Amino acid sequence: MFDNYIEGLFPEFIANFTNLTDLRIYGMKLQGPIPKQFSNLINLKYLMLGDLDGANSTIDFIPDSANLSILSLRKCGIVGQFPSTPPTLPNLTYLDLRSNNLSGQLQLLLPYKSSRYLYAGDNDFSGRLPAEFVQPSLALDISYNPFINGLLPNNPTDRKLSLNYIGTAIDTSRAINSENLTLLNCLHMKECNRKYYTNAITSFAVNCGGKQTIYSDPLPITFDDDTTDLGAAGFHVNTSMQWVVSHVGSDPFRESPRFVNTSQVILGTDMPELYQTARTSRSALWYYIVGLSTGKYTVQLFFAEIVIEKPGKRLFNIDIQDRNIKTDFDITKEAGGFRRPTNITYEVTVVNSVLKIHLHWNGRGTCCIPYEGAYGPLVSAIRVFRPESPNNSPPPARPVSAPSNDDKRRGVVAGIAALCIAAAVISSSVVYLWWKWVALVKHPNA
């Protein structure tokens, strides 16, 4: 039961279907709470609930189970302390608790450290980050839990981690270089280096999921490279151009691509290469531009659906500066077809030097066309610029104002003087030539 418009309270009678092994209810208009009787569903292997409004739930509907391997409770309105004796789930491989109001020490999740995916972002967990969580075999998201702290352990350069901790109080000074740390501090609105204010930027462009590309419009616009693989959870800091990309999400049943591309020509644009690649996510993408000078900006988002054809459908939400601007955004519908380009233009005011763009899945759309895991946000490129300087060219050193009456009079006088000088030169030339002609007639042998 997903991607429908079913309304009302969460169906309690489903708790009577004790032979169920797979239950998925999300992307609809149901109201919580989740019935506690769901603890009777001990044969479940896959339980995926989400996108609930209404009354809050507690997590005590999760039973001890040796069968459960996938547990997704994204945006279920679950509140309260995570149990000090968590449910026993020895075969759990995927746990998603994102976007609830769960609290308690992060170490309470340690029984699930053997999972492949553990998403606990956008909650109220606290305490130190256990070192046992920092391992290549676990994709860990603890982003936007402001009370999580501790030190990020040193990581050998040859050990690839999937870890997203943006929006926490974790001390990363030993683990990342100072430039990255400084920019992340700006992102968190703390201890921002003065250089990001004194050397403020007024434009930005990135080729999402693609290599650096330059277009002329009419002046050259450079779309930055954005090909860093963020794994199932992670972020990348571009210190030279002052931006950050962050990602969370993976399909629980299939390894999910983070980039998609096509060799087919994208018609209807003079920038087809820009739409042939895209960055995508099964849950959420953020782009942060850091160091923008205060003022109004135009944000352009570039899209082309290059994966899902009918009857499939990709839907997601778009927020800019924490304000929703699109719900159930359908690229194919907006563009008028598959592999067709479409853009969104939005005006925004930046007052704190940081611009935040958030694209996130809301449980809507199809899940498995043309393959399992084909859903979630997708974006081809992003461009930000001052409205008065759309070609990224610097504004003039001083404004060019309309001429005053005095300026006009001076212009007229200068014009008359120039005409007089020109007339005098022409007249003198004519007189000289006439004199030379007369002299030749009178003295032909001279």
What residues have CB less than 8 Å from 317, skipping those under 6 apart?
324, 326, 327, 328, 329, 359, 360, 361, 362
pLDDT score recorded for residue 161:
86
pLDDT score recorded for residue 353:
87
pLDDT score recorded for residue 392:
47
Q: Identical fold at 7-188 and 203-385?
A: no
pLDDT score recorded for residue 352:
84
Q: What is the reported pTM?
A: 0.83
Asked if 156 contacts 250 with a C-beta cutoff of 8 angstroms, the reply is no
pLDDT score recorded for residue 197:
53
Which tokens in the block code for residue 151? 């030190």
Q: Which fold has domain 203-385?
A: Jelly Rolls (2.60.120)
pLDDT score recorded for residue 98:
97
Whether residue 33 is preceded by a cis peptide bond, meaning omega within 30 degrees of 0, is: yes
Summarize the confidence of residues 238-256 as an average pLDDT: 91
Tell me the C-alpha distance between 361 and 377, whole Å: 6
- The domain locations on the chain are 7-188, 203-385
Summarize the confidence of residues 296-313 as an average pLDDT: 97
- pLDDT at residue 180 tops 60: yes
Give the 3-state secondary structure of 336-356.
CCCCCEEEEEEEEEECCCEEE
Summarize the confidence of residues 180-191 as an average pLDDT: 64
Per-residue confidence band for 240, with pLDDT thresholds at 50, 70 and 90? confident
pLDDT score recorded for residue 321:
95
3-state secondary structure of 227: coil
pLDDT score recorded for residue 266:
94
pLDDT score recorded for residue 200:
73
Which tokens in the block code for residue 283? 């849950």
Give the least confident one: 61-75, 103-117, 162-176, 421-435: 421-435
Asked if 313 contacts 365 with a C-beta cutoff of 8 angstroms, the reply is yes
What residues have CB less than 8 Å from 404, skipping those under 6 apart?
none
pLDDT score recorded for residue 199:
60
Give, as one character, the DSSP assignment of residue 13. G
Give me the chain's average pLDDT, please: 85
- pLDDT at residue 289 tops 70: yes
pLDDT score recorded for residue 63:
87
- pLDDT at residue 91 tops 70: yes
- pLDDT at residue 435 tops 50: yes
pLDDT score recorded for residue 21:
97
Other beta carbons within 10 Å of 254: 13
Q: Give whole-number Cα distances, 40 to 35, 63, 67, 72, 84, in Å.
A: 10, 7, 13, 17, 21
Residue range 15-40, pLDDT digits in tens: 999 999 999 999 999 999 999 999 99
Tell me the C-alpha distance between 373 and 256, whole Å: 6
Asked if 346 contacts 325 with a C-beta cutoff of 8 angstroms, the reply is yes
Q: Is 305 exposed, middle or buried (0-12, 13-18, 19+ CB in 10 A)?
A: buried
- pLDDT at residue 446 tops 90: no
What residues have CB less than 8 Å from 370, skipping those under 6 apart?
307, 308, 309, 312
Tell me the C-alpha distance between 99 and 203, whole Å: 32
- pLDDT at residue 424 tops 80: no
- pLDDT at residue 405 tops 50: no
Summarize the confidence of residues 408-433 as an average pLDDT: 53
Residue range 104-158, pLDDT digits in tens: 999 999 999 999 999 999 999 999 999 999 999 999 999 999 999 988 766 555 5
Summarize the confidence of residues 292-311 as an average pLDDT: 95
| Backbone φ, ψ for residue 32 (5° rounding) | -75, 180
CATH ID of 7-188, from 2.60.40, 3.40.50, 3.80.10, 3.30.70: 3.80.10
- pLDDT at residue 86 tops 50: yes
Other beta carbons within 10 Å of 199: 11
> Which carries the bigger pLDDT value, residue 396 or residue 320?
320
Tell me the C-alpha distance between 299 and 132, whole Å: 41
Determine the longest span between alpha carbons in the chain, in angstroms: 130
- pLDDT at residue 261 tops 70: yes
- pLDDT at residue 432 tops 60: no
Asked if 306 contacts 275 with a C-beta cutoff of 8 angstroms, the reply is yes
> Which carries the bigger pLDDT value, residue 41 or residue 199?
41
